[in-house]
Structure 1
Amino acid sequence: MSTEEQVSENWIGLEQAAIHLGVRPITVRDWIKKKTGIPAHKIGKLWKFKLSELDEWVKSGKSAID
Structure 2
Amino acid sequence: MSTEPWVTAEQVALHLGVAKDTVYRWRERRGMPAHRIGRLWKFQLSEVDEWVRADGADDFSDTVAKHN
Structure 2 length as normaliser, TM-score? 0.78
Correspondence list, 1:22-41, <5 A: 22-34=17-29, 36-41=30-35
The root-mean-square deviation of aligned C-alpha atoms, in Å, is 1.4
Structure with the higher fraction of residues in strand conformation:
1
Q: Which runs of 5+ in 2 are unaligned?
A: 63-68
Give the number of aligned pairs: 60
Q: 1:39 corresponds to which letter in structure 2?
A: P
Tell me by how many angstroms 1:33 deviates. 2.3
% identical equivalent positions: 50
Tell me by how many angstroms 1:46 deviates. 0.6
Q: Which runs of 4+ in 1 moved over 6 A?
A: none
Tell me by how many angstroms 1:64 deviates. 0.8
Structure 1 length as normaliser, TM-score? 0.80
Which residue, out of 9, 32, 45, partners 1:14?
9
Deviations 1:9-51 (A, max 9, x none): 00001100111111110111112222x0201111111110001
SS of residue in 1 equivalent to 2:24: helix
